[in-house]
């Protein structure tokens, strides 16, 4: 097999989906899962100033000083996400259409996310706490025959935060809190690569193509990459609360960025083999850098956020809540995926053959705001009703920067729920949320951050270099249940 064949082969990148890791099933814009507390969920995450139970560790750690004694809380969110794509199309370099499925659902029917919190009042001033919760969790899968398979096929991410926290009451009306965050993330990816042009330089394959009347080699042999990686990252959160009057409380909280270098392995194998020639060309593909197993790394920085929130006790039975959160999603403007082995790829600038060991994508995200308002109404001694609505801005600027791995868009939360005191020690919270996500489209390509496929300004990299588009419709339902016990 001649080396120049690699100048025409389309090579698939491996960790593209980690560009939006928490992507399709994420319930808040960008990376975020969306809710880490059932009581907060019931108010569309507007009640960060309430400090009603140990889940305040996530929303405002200063709220721990409002919790007497020892308290423990456990919750479970059941999520039914729906992300569907339609009208999908893609083309190989040169303009030949990619054949395959053009629509489908890319999320699971049901996803579960648990959260655990505890607080311990040390004395009149100090309170300690521990939170273990899921900030990011998603799984997305396109059909293996999708026309978008060279952009992404399957992704899965699970992240867990361990958040020890301490809070201090400065005065009778002001408190501060601080926590350390240890975050473990585990990710998986599957993606296809068009090896047809590479295989077509082998005389044995040429003979099969002539016998079957096949002139165009695109799509007749697909490689598939299965990637897995994990990492620990570290950060912090801090908060402040001030009881301005007996009826009004305001606060602020901050969550730091967390840097990850996800390290793992990539396994290359033959995917679809329409002409039965995969085994014949696989040794040459291996020699070109596509090893059966190789190391892979990608650096990701999750964004910092700042929240301002307030609570107004209108009367003994009615509370109003509000929250504004800014998130620095612009940290995610470019992603570089690094492979251990250099691979022979097409020279996008001058033609011919070159080598590359990385893939780059450039989503160019913007900073975002989320605005939420909510209320609680004490219907009776044991029963409190809760409501909320929120607008959550997407970091995606346009269809040209929307990723097929994360067709994110602006969303609206509609939430309701209740808290029921079982007795003086135990409470039950339940919440339901419907998340409307604005329909959108994505113009996707494998140009590695460049706006052109070839010539001046193009970038040579490990990529399938296909160009496509799709329309997306998404929404989600969330059911949450939580139990809190006060010793």
pLDDT at 21: 35
CB 267 within 8 A of CB 226: yes
Q: Residue 465: left if φ>0, alpha if ψ -120 to 50, beta else—which one?
A: left
Output the CA torsion 83→87→92→96 (10° steps). Answer: 160
CB 162 within 8 A of CB 182: yes
Q: What is the pTM of this model?
A: 0.88
DSSP for 435-456, written as a single string = EEEEEEEEEEE-STT-SSSSST
Q: Tell me the backbone φ, ψ of residue 101, rounded to 5 degrees.
A: -70, 140
pLDDT at 7: 33
Q: pLDDT of the chain along its 487 residues, tens only?
A: 444 333 333 344 333 333 333 334 456 666 667 789 999 999 999 999 999 999 999 999 999 999 999 999 999 999 999 999 999 999 998 889 999 999 999 988 888 889 999 999 999 999 999 999 988 777 788 988 999 998 878 878 788 999 999 999 999 999 999 999 999 988 888 888 888 887 887 888 888 888 888 888 888 889 888 888 889 999 999 999 999 999 999 999 999 999 988 888 988 888 888 878 788 888 888 888 888 999 988 888 888 999 999 999 999 999 999 999 999 999 888 878 788 988 888 788 887 778 888 877 788 899 999 999 999 999 999 999 999 999 999 999 999 988 887 888 999 999 999 999 999 999 999 999 999 999 999 999 888 888 888 888 888 888 878 999 999 999 999 999 999 999 9
Q: In 108-171, where do the E strands start and end?
A: 111-121, 126-133, 137-141, 154-169
Facing residues of 38 across strands?
Answer: none
CB 242 within 8 A of CB 298: no
The secondary structure element, H or E, covering residue 398 is none
Q: In 396-425, where do the E strands start and end?
A: 411-421
Output the CA torsion 441→82→326→393 (10° steps). Answer: 40
pLDDT at 13: 37
**32-36 long-range contacts, CB within 8 A, separation 24+:** 32/135, 32/136, 32/327, 33/113, 33/134, 33/135, 33/136, 33/137, 33/138, 34/435, 34/478, 35/77, 35/433, 35/478, 35/480, 36/115, 36/131, 36/133, 36/134, 36/135
- 224: helix, strand or coil: strand
Distance CA 164, CA 405 (A): 33
CB 45 within 8 A of CB 56: no
- 61: helix, strand or coil: helix
Please report the domains of the chain, with CATH numbers, ordered by start residue.
3-486 (2.40.160.60)
- Based on its alpha-carbon atoms, the radius of gyration of the chain, rounded to whole angstroms, reads 25
pLDDT at 25: 47
pLDDT at 409: 92
CB 103 within 8 A of CB 88: yes
pLDDT at 290: 86
CB 360 within 8 A of CB 336: yes
């Amino acid at each position: 097999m001649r080396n120049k064949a690699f100048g025409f082969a389309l090579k698939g990148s491996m960790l593209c989906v980690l560009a939006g890791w928490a992507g399709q099933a994420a319930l808040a814009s960008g990376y975020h899962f969306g809710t880490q507390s059932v009581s907060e969920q019931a108010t569309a995450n507007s009640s960060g100033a309430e400090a009603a139970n140990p889940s305040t560790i996530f929303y405002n750690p200063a709220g721990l000083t409002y919790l007497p004694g020892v308290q423990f809380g456990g919750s479970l969110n059941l999520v039914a996400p729906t992300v569907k794509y339609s009208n999908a199309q893609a083309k190989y370099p040169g303009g030949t259409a990619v054949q395959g499925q053009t629509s489908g659902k890319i999320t699971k029917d049901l996803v579960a996310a648990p959260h655990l919190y505890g607080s311990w009042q040390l004395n009149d001033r100090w309170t300690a706490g521990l939170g273990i919760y899921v900030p990011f969790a998603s799984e997305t899968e396109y059909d293996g025959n999708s026309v978008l398979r060279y952009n992404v096929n399957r992704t899965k991410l699970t992240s867990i935060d361990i958040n020890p926290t301490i809070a201090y009451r400065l005065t009778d009306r002001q408190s501060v809190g601080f926590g350390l965050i240890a975050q473990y993330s585990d990710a998986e990816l599957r993606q296809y690569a068009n090896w047809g042009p590479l295989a077509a330089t082998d005389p044995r394959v040429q003979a099969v193509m002539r016998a079957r009347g096949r002139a165009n080699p695109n799509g007749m042999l697909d490689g598939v990459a299965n990637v897995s990686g994990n990492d620990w990252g570290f950060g912090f959160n801090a908060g402040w609360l001030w009881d301005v009057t007996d009826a009004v409380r305001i606060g602020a909280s901050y969550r730091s960025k967390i840097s990850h270098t996800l390290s793992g392995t990539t396994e290359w194998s033959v995917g679809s083999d329409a002409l039965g020639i995969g085994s014949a060309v696989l040794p040459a593909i291996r020699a070109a850098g596509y090893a059966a197993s190789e190391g892979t790394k990608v650096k990701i920085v999750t964004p910092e956020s700042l929240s301002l929130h307030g609570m107004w006790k209108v009367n003994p039975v009615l509370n109003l809540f509000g929250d504004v959160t800014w998130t620095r999603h612009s940290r995610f403007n470019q992603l570089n995926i690094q492979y251990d082995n250099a691979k022979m790829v097409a020279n996008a600038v001058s033609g011919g053959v070159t080598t590359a060991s990385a893939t780059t994508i450039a989503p160019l995200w913007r900073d975002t705001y989320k605005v939420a308002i909510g209320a609680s109404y004490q219907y009776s001694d044991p029963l409190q009703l809760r409501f909320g609505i929120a607008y959550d801005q997407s970091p995606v600027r346009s269809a040209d920067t929307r990723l097929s791995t994360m067709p994110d868009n602006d969303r609206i939360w509609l939430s309701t729920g209740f808290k029921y005191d079982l007795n003086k020690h135990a409470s039950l919270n339940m919440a339901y949320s419907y998340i409307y996500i604005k329909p959108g489209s994505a113009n996707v390509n494998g140009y590695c951050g460049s706006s052109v496929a070839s010539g001046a300004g193009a970038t040579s990299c490990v990529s399938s270099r296909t160009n496509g588009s799709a329309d997306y419709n998404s929404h989600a339902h969330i059911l949450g249940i939580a139990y809190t016990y006060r010793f």
